[in-house]
Amino acid sequence: MRASVGSVPRTKSLQPGESPGFLLWHATMRWQRLMTATLAPYGITHVQFVLLASTWWLTDHGGPPRQRDVADHAGTDPMMTSQVVRALEAKGLLTRASDAEDARALRLEPTKRGRALALEAIAAVETADREYFEAVPRDARPAVLSALRGLADR
């Protein structure tokens, strides 16, 4: 029997606990709540942390990056990155300056306060990550990291 126009053909549904997307959703939500709680004492959001930490890392590994480089490194939308960077600048955590080679580009650099906050927050996030991922058996961690890299690189 054919499905009528507009109806969805029925297939055997997975149970929620068998659905990789559903499980990833729950794991991600739990991890995001942990990151929010971990970063609350620093007065920054998770997105602010990622962009500040990316700016710090790129600065330490090659000099002040362009804003676009930070967005690419963090995997964030360039327009959203611009808004968050402005907020970080308003908090005194980084500076934006015109690129000498490209007037359309901005170079970002953490301030002294931004660098210190980034390093403290990175340590806190790394500790929280270790605690969160302790649920993954030690011998399975390389495979989990490999799978996450594969998903992140798509």
- Checking if the pLDDT of 3 tops 80, the result is no
Separation of alpha carbons 138 and 57, rounded Å: 28
- Give the model's pLDDT for residue 103: 85
pLDDT in tens, 66-102: 999 999 999 999 999 999 999 999 999 999 999 899 9
> Is the per-residue pLDDT at 48 higher than 90?
yes
At 133, the amino acid letter reads F
- pTM given for the model: 0.86
- Please give the single-letter amino acid code of residue 21: G
Average pLDDT over residues 124-130: 97
User: Residue 141: its pLDDT value, please?
Assistant: 94
Question: Domains plus CATH for the chain?
Answer: 44-124 (1.10.10.10)
Report pLDDT for 153: 86
Rounded distance between C-alpha atoms, residue 83 and residue 86, angstroms: 5
- How far apart, in whole angstroms, are the C-alpha atoms of residue 33 and residue 90? 25
Q: Vertex 16, ends 10 and 20: CA angle to 5°? A: 95
Of 5-9, 28-32, 117-121, the one with minimum mean pLDDT is: 5-9
Return d(Cα 108, Cα 67) in angstroms, integer. 6
